[in-house]
Amino acid sequence: MQLPNVESMARQIELKSAVNPCLWLCVAISIPTFGGSYLATDWLRIGLFIVGLIPILMFIIAFSYLLFTKPEFLRSEKYHMFLETLKFFGDKDNPSYDKAVEMITLLNNPSLPPPPSENHE
Residues 49 and 69 in one domain: yes
Q: Residues with Cβ < 8 Å from 42, sequence gap 6 or more?
A: none
For residue 43, what pLDDT is reported? 92
- pLDDT at position 23: 82
Q: What's the pLDDT at 46?
A: 92
Residue 25 lies in a domain: yes
Q: Identify the top-confidence range among 7-11, 85-89, 96-100.
A: 85-89
The structural domain count of the chain equals 2
Residues 66 and 19 in one domain: yes
**Cα(15)–Cα(101) distance, integer angstroms:** 24
Highest mean pLDDT among 5-9, 57-61, 97-101: 57-61
Domain co-membership, 70 together with 85: no
Q: For residue 20, what pLDDT is reported?
A: 79
CA distance 10 to 6: 6
How is 66-106 classified by DSSP, letter by letter?
HHHH-GGGGS-HHHHHHHHHHHHH-STTSTTHHHHHHHHHH
Rounded CA-CA distance 6/77 in Å is: 24
**Is residue 70 located within the same domain as residue 20?**
yes
